[in-house]
């Protein structure tokens, strides 16, 4: 992404402030066990504002009535660090690449932060950030407040995350292209899993087939822990063991997707392990698919998210009545939340730099946000019927189905960014019966 996009975002954030200091810290490396670490992933808010991907870095934005200023602190290069972990960009490399007013080594931060803060009255931080850079800033605030002769001092500390995440709601064209690329790779992976699936496999074998597609096409990583849930495992919403056998006659629910240059995709498909839906499986599946299509069809600018949720619950409740799983009139069933036993989760969530983008769902007055062009949301209805639920006809027990796509709100309505991933009964069965044409190296044709 061009550096101008990041500088524009920084200026847009500063334009919302009367004056003050913004401090954003990079993510810290996280220990996996003993002296090994997880693969590094940058803090999304930090990355959104500057595009810098290395750890141990700090971004400071300053605003006075007369001017604005941006300062980036980065880790200095060292021969020992390069030997063990590879070369970092360093101060000089960062100065060449990034359009900042100042770039310093993080070693200089402790000596500069108090002088920066003494010229301002407001501090903007992430309240959940417990990094040493924020702690040092807070300590400096305390010391300045207790020092005689200081003409200015921080009088208010604000949470900056709401401001940044409100900006993150509307995706730029460049962000949308990254999301589309992630989805294109994910589409290939889901189709690969459908082609390879057969009874007697282990769930993790399908996960491995998808991971190969992700990595061989240059995806940064999985966007989240993959769910590959055969049979009744699909009725555990966050099932991640992925160790069981895939049995003939069961369905498998796969909720898995990749990340491309830090931007996520999030896709779920449910299909028969043997390539052919049974009649009860088809009945439930087509009800879920009908709900999803109708909800997507209702998406357009101005529609409120809480209305979309209520609409989806009404459709799911009616589907459960039609299947004979719920009995009675729809209004009292909705009021008693009887449908929640079988459709417990929301219809979707924001998606972008995080698979669950932590952008606001409500406006400043506490009202549900209305959809606007540039937002990206998932739409993922599901029906889950546990194998031990004797209140339901036996033919439906053990069936768990979710269908999830990634939707971009446009000026005219919406665009299903993942529409290339098969999801009708006919298309799934045809793809699973045709084992040819497996696409592995997607980037050659993307």
380 noted as active-site residue = yes
Q: How many CB atoms lie within 10 A of CB 69?
A: 15
Q: Of 15, 18, 66, 238, which one is the catalytic site residue?
A: 238
356 noted as active-site residue = yes
Distinct helix (H) and strand (E) counts, the chain: 13, 19
- With 0-12 CB in 10 A as exposed, 13-18 as middle and 19+ as buried, what is 149? exposed
Q: Of 396, 402, 405, 406, which one is the catalytic site residue?
A: 402
Taking a C-beta distance cutoff of 8 angstroms, is the pair 175, 169 a contact?
no
Q: How many CB atoms lie within 10 A of CB 403?
A: 21
> Rounded to whole angstroms, what are the CA distances from 140 to 59, 64, 161?
17, 19, 21
The three-class DSSP label of residue 23 is strand
Which residues touch 396 (CB under 8 Å, ≥6 apart)? 280, 284, 323, 325, 385
Q: Of 9, 384, 396, 406, which one is the catalytic site residue?
A: 384
Q: Of 9, 349, 354, 429, which one is the catalytic site residue?
A: 349
Q: Of 126, 250, 259, 266, which one is the catalytic site residue?
A: 266
384 noted as active-site residue = yes
- H or E stretch covering 179: helix 173-196
Q: Of 32, 155, 243, 345, which one is the catalytic site residue?
A: 345
For residue 260, the 8-state DSSP code is: E
Q: How far apart are CA 136 and CA 23, in angstroms?
A: 11
Q: Of 95, 356, 386, 397, which one is the catalytic site residue?
A: 356
108 noted as active-site residue = no
Q: Of 259, 404, 405, 406, which one is the catalytic site residue?
A: 404
Residue 128 token pair = 């959940």
266 noted as active-site residue = yes
Taking a C-beta distance cutoff of 8 angstroms, is the pair 369, 166 a contact?
no
Q: Of 175, 203, 255, 313, which one is the catalytic site residue?
A: 255
Q: Of 15, 35, 66, 146, which one is the catalytic site residue?
A: 35
Q: Of 45, 259, 380, 429, which one is the catalytic site residue?
A: 380
402 noted as active-site residue = yes
404 noted as active-site residue = yes
Instruction: Report the chain's C-alpha Rg in angstroms.
Output: 25
349 noted as active-site residue = yes
345 noted as active-site residue = yes
Pairing of strands 31-33, 36-37: antiparallel
What values do phi and psi take at 114, rounded to 5? Answer: -65, -40
> Rounded to whole angstroms, what are the CA distances from 404 to 238, 242, 358?
15, 19, 19
Question: Which residues are the active-site residues?
Answer: 35, 238, 255, 266, 345, 349, 356, 380, 384, 402, 404
């Amino acid at each position: 992404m061009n550096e101008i996009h990041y500088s524009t975002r920084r200026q847009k954030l500063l334009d919302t402030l009367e004056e003050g200091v913004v401090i954003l810290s990079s993510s810290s490396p996280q220990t996996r066990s003993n002296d090994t670490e997880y693969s590094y992933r940058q803090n999304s808010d930090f990355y959104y504002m500057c595009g810098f991907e290395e750890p141990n870095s700090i971004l400071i934005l300053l605003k006075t009535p007369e001017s604005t200023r941006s300062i980036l602190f980065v880790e200095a290069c060292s021969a020992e660090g390069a030997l063990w972990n590879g070369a970092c960009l360093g101060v000089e490399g960062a100065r060449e690449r990034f359009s900042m007013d100042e770039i310093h080594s993080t070693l200089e931060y402790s000596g500069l932060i108090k002088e920066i803060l003494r010229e301002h009255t407001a501090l903007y931080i992430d309240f959940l950030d417990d990094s040493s850079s924020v702690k040092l800033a807070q300590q400096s605030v305390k010391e300045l407040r207790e020092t005689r002769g200081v003409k200015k001092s921080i009088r208010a500390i604000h949470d900056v995350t709401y401001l940044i995440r409100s900006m993150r709601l509307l995706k730029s064209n460049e962000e949308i292209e990254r999301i589309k690329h992630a989805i294109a790779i994910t589409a290939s992976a889901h189709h690969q899993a459908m082609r390879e699936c057969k009874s007697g496999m282990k769930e993790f074998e399908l996960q491995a087939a998808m991971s190969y597609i992700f990595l061989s096409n240059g995806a940064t990583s999985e966007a989240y822990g993959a769910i590959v849930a055969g049979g009744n495992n699909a009725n555990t919403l966050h099932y991640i063991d992925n160790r069981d056998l895939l049995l003939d006659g069961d369905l498998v629910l796969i909720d898995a997707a990749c990340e491309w240059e830090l931007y996520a995709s999030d896709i779920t498909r449910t299909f028969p392990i043997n390539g052919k839906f049974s009649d009860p499986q088809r009945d439930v599946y087509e009800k879920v698919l009908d709900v999803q299509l109708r909800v997507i069809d209702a998406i357009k600018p101005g529609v409120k998210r809480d209305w979309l949720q209520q609409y989806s619950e009404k459709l799911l409740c009616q589907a459960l009545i039609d299947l004979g799983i719920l009995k009675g009139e729809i209004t009292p069933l909705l009021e008693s939340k009887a449908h929640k036993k079988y459709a417990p989760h929301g219809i979707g969530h924001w998606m972008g730099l995080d698979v669950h983008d932590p952008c606001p769902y409500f406006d400043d007055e506490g009202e549900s946000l209305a959809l606007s062009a540039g937002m990206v949301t998932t739409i993922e209805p599901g029906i889950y019927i546990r194998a031990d639920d004797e209140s339901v006809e036996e033919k439906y027990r053990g069936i768990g189905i979710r269908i999830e796509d990634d939707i971009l709100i446009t000026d005219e309505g919406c665009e299903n960014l993942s529409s290339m991933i098969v999801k009708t009964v006919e298309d799934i069965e045809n793809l699973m019966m045709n084992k040819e044409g497996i696409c592995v190296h997607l980037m050659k044709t993307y």
